[in-house]
Structure 1
Amino acid sequence: MRSAYKAVWGVLCLLFLAVPAVSSAESYDGSQFLLSWSESPSHSQTITWHSPSRREGYVQYNKSGDELSGQHQVKAEITDVGETGYYRYEAVLKGLSHNTTYDYRVGNGAEWSQIRTFTTAPDPETWEEKSETSFDFLYLGDVQYRNRNRDYGEWGKLLQDIRERNPGIAFALIGGDMVNSSRKMKDWNLFLDNASSVFSYIPMMPAIGNHETSVKADPYLQMLALPENGPQDLEEEFYSFDYGNCHIIVLNTCFLLDNRKASMAEEWDEKLHEIRIWMEEDLRKSNAKWKLAVLHHPPYGISNGDSVYEWIRQEWEPILEKGEIDLALCGHQHIYMRTKEIGGITYVIGNSGKRRSTYYNGENAPAYTKALDAVNSNYQIIRVEKDRLSLLSYDEKGQIIDRWSKEKHEKGILKGAIAGLIFAPVMIAGIAAAVRRKKRP
């Protein structure tokens, strides 16, 4: 009996040893990891994620290759989005070194996700001193689907293809309409599931589209972590940030929609005034060489009949022009379109999803249109250099459908060159006269 017992025990031990041990290193149930910036892109990184179990959440981080431990660890804040039982975690890593790659993982203190990486932005104070420095970033217009399950999967594949074709992109801007219904968690889950494969490595900075809002964009504001440097009570709806020699201002055009105006009554006019003051101050204070704006509704598109377009042109376009915006990235009309330069600004409409324009009939492109593609899903890669800003627009197969660039040289150099052109003939004439006088007997 004892020998039989030993035999059974021996078999159980062998079976136990044959079963692979579950490592706590990658057993955390978190998902939908997103990077963004809520503070300085050069010295911080904001990380958000989802976990179905409401437990404490942490991020461990260190310079790439160094050990991850509790020595460099930040505790996350938890939000129950819409009180639906969907928990979103947010942690901000501060005091980071600029232009440095970090490893990070998230977990509950005992179980951890796989290790991912991010790279902080260059120091904007010294970026201009490096004449060979440049960076690329991605712009995506509306993600909004026709068939939810199919189209989000295809968009996620497109996103991965983009990163494989452009491994050096530093961050991404999205022009709104990431979902079809702001309050449907199924939409948000599918978007975040597909976005995470890329945006857990590079930051995603979005604008609010009309499909992210029903009067106000509550789920959007609860789930995403963005800079809080906008007008009072409108933080994260309006914000700005710097990357290298580029200043980017993000505007919520849905504030100008009739339902928002009606819900705010008299306060709406006051807040509109505050937005104008904030925009003017934000752009005036920036010394960046290049300035870009992101806004969901285009002030110049295929159709301009809606009142929101008129509001943008009336209230915000003069400020953008005075603030020397070079490029405005838009969405909403489900088409690719680039305008000629209007008031110093080139407007681009992107469309990364599967919906197609109901505004364009094949013949009604406005006179200010310089490029148009109504057939393909598309994305834009913007390259920022010291004296040049350029955009390449691609279809979903990675073929170029449009290109644009703008050069802007140092004002001092230009003034010197102009002065040289003006005064060179005078100097030459003076030298010639002196030579003639010297030759006289």
Structure 2
Amino acid sequence: MKKKSIIKLSITAVILIALGCWINSRWNAWFGNPPEAVYSPQNEPGRVLLTFGDENALSRNISWQYDSIVYPSHVELADTFSKDTLHIDATGEVFQSRSGKAAYYVARLRSLKPSHSYSYRVCSNGKYSPWYHFQTHNQPTQDSYSFLYVGDVQDSINGKTNYFLKKALQAHPETEFLVCGGDLTERPIDAYWGETFRGLDSIAQCLPVLTVTGNHDYLKYPIRKLERRFSLIFSYYLDSMIGENQVYTLKYNDMQLFCLDSNREFFYLWTQRKWLKEQLEKSNARWKIVVLHHPLYSIKGKYNNLIQKSMFNSLIQEHHVDLVLQGHEHSYGRMTGHDENNNPTVPVYTVSHCSPKTYRIYFGEDFDKFGIDGKYYQQIQVKGDTLLMNSFDATNGNLYDCIKIVKKNDQTEILDCGKDIPENLNFSPAPGNKKDMKYMERINEYKQRRHIEL
């Protein structure tokens, strides 16, 4: 009996030591927050961002940063047709981060006209920003419109985001707004926020920018924490949050977007599920698009993100959501739903990114297309009874994938017009690297399964 007890205690000790070593190795990944260097606030009104406001497609919010105390501030808004000028008061709030503080301002524009051009500048304490310009759309009869979607950006300091985004917008000048799938900023640190605004320079001041939260937007603790400055910058969340959940919906012509915060713990996700259910049930939009950070069908492993999937996926399918836009996994993947007769149907699930970092994927059989070495963006275009999603390679502008959702006579048809475009499966294993060689084997197995030339 004594010998058995010693064996049991020894096994228990080994398990506890192994568990402790594993936790120690993962501690920084779970709870490690890189330090934030001491910083000073903007000494001129800066980091200006244009976005939507309430659920109305003609609403706009303008946010900016200036100094570290709140001064009387406003937006000067000029109608470029009539030359009328309005002064719209802004609200201000001081945010203290881990290593500095700054005052953030938000002005809410709620009387804009459709198909109109405006000029504006922001003012705090008598100091003005440069003049910026934007245009509204949304005529009641408008049945053709488009926006661009990018997954994770997470650019390094002095990165190339601004170049890629400007190149994409030059290729698609009809774009009406920009949507991001989270992790727009590498970390909640002032230097990275500065890089985010450099990446959005001359874009975020003229095109409305929407983003959902990503895991890199959070500080890592046993219960994650999203800093207040995220909502002060993306100010539509100030009026749309449910408790601490960053959720938002936008009705745009005959389309509705539903933005979720998939980074939260189970009890927060449950609250979001109730919100999403309520929003979907009362929506009369012809086109429904859900945006969240974590893919409901992972391209990194079929057991990833199961909590998010269990919370949201049944609602998304039940209410015939057309498109689910996702990020997080730093590769490209597109999956189309199928009915009981194996006919393709909505939802169409898309995972995408435009980041310097790329991750390895497992090539699940349910997916229709992958991309493992590149940066991508999606053009979502509505033309009458058709929603078209074109995926482009951000580095060269080439069309990479394409799918159409056509709705006629209460019938929905899915047309996979990207299946004949070659997949980007470039990978060069490092000599002697076992992990690289195994990944190369996985790629070759996928090519054999799809009858792609090795």
In the superposition, the TM-score normalised over structure 2's length comes to 0.73
Letter in 2 for 1:48: S
Q: Is the aligned partner of 1:165 residue 2:171?
A: yes
CA distances 1:330-372 after superposition (whole Å, capped 9, x unpaired): 0000011111225721111111111101x32xxx311112111
Q: 1:306: how far off?
A: 5.3
| 2:244 paired residue among 234, 237, 243 | 234
Structure 2 counterpart of 1:197: 202
CA distance in 2, matches of 1:276, 1:85: 34
8 Å Cα contact 1:134-1:384 kept in structure 2: yes
Structure 1 counterpart of 2:286: 289
Q: Secondary structure of the equivalent of 2:115?
A: coil
Structure 2 counterpart of 1:371: 369
> Unmatched 5+ residue regions in structure 1?
1-27, 262-267, 415-441
Structure 1 outlier segments of 4+, above 4 Å: 227-231
Q: Secondary structure of the equivalent of 1:341?
A: strand
Letter in 1 for 2:47: Q
Q: Is the aligned partner of 1:400 residue 2:415?
A: no
Letter in 2 for 1:302: I
Q: 1:223: how far off?
A: 2.6
CA distance in 2, matches of 1:306, 1:57: 49
- The answer to which structure, 1 or 2, has the higher relative contact order (CA under 8 A, 6+ apart) is 1
CA distances 1:377-428 after superposition (whole Å, capped 9, x unpaired): 11111101220001111112211111111101243999xxxxxxxxxxxxxx
Letter in 1 for 2:318: K
8 Å Cα contact 2:68-2:102 kept in structure 1: no
Q: Is the aligned partner of 1:329 residue 2:309?
A: no
CA distance in 2, matches of 1:107, 1:306: 50
Q: 1:194: how far off?
A: 2.1
Change in Cα spacing, 1:279 to 1:173, as seen in structure 2 (3 Å) is: same
Change in Cα spacing, 1:48 to 1:201, as seen in structure 2 (3 Å) is: same
CA distance in 1, matches of 2:412, 2:167: 41
Structure 1 counterpart of 2:90: 76
CA distance in 1, matches of 2:84, 2:198: 25
8 Å Cα contact 2:66-2:124 kept in structure 1: no
CA distance in 1, matches of 2:161, 2:61: 24
CA distances 1:11-43 after superposition (whole Å, capped 9, x unpaired): xxxxxxxxxxxxxxxxx9222211111214443
8 Å Cα contact 2:48-2:64 kept in structure 1: yes
| 2:59 paired residue among 44, 52, 63 | 44
CA distance in 2, matches of 1:342, 1:299: 16
Q: 1:105: how far off?
A: 1.4
> Unmatched 5+ residue regions in structure 2?
1-42, 340-345, 414-454
CA distance in 2, matches of 1:342, 1:296: 23
Q: How does 1:84-103 map to 2 (within 5 A)?
A: 84-103=100-119
Change in Cα spacing, 1:324 to 1:33, as seen in structure 2 (3 Å) is: same
Letter in 2 for 1:158: F
8 Å Cα contact 1:239-1:250 kept in structure 2: yes
8 Å Cα contact 1:38-1:228 kept in structure 2: no
CA distance in 1, matches of 2:411, 2:149: 32
Structure (1 or 2) with the larger CA radius of gyration: 1
CA distance in 1, matches of 2:412, 2:243: 43
Quote the RMSD (CA, aligned, Å). Answer: 2.4
CA distance in 1, matches of 2:178, 2:366: 27
Aligned residues: 356
8 Å Cα contact 2:94-2:103 kept in structure 1: yes
In the superposition, the TM-score normalised over structure 1's length comes to 0.75
CA distance in 2, matches of 1:332, 1:114: 35
Please state which structure has a larger fraction of its residues in strand: 2
Q: 1:85: how far off?
A: 2.4
Percent identity over the alignment is: 23
CA distance in 1, matches of 2:124, 2:271: 41
Structure 2 counterpart of 1:32: 47
Please state which structure has a larger fraction of its residues in helix: 1
Structure 2 counterpart of 1:314: 310
CA distance in 2, matches of 1:75, 1:62: 14
Change in Cα spacing, 1:388 to 1:180, as seen in structure 2 (3 Å) is: same
8 Å Cα contact 1:181-1:187 kept in structure 2: yes
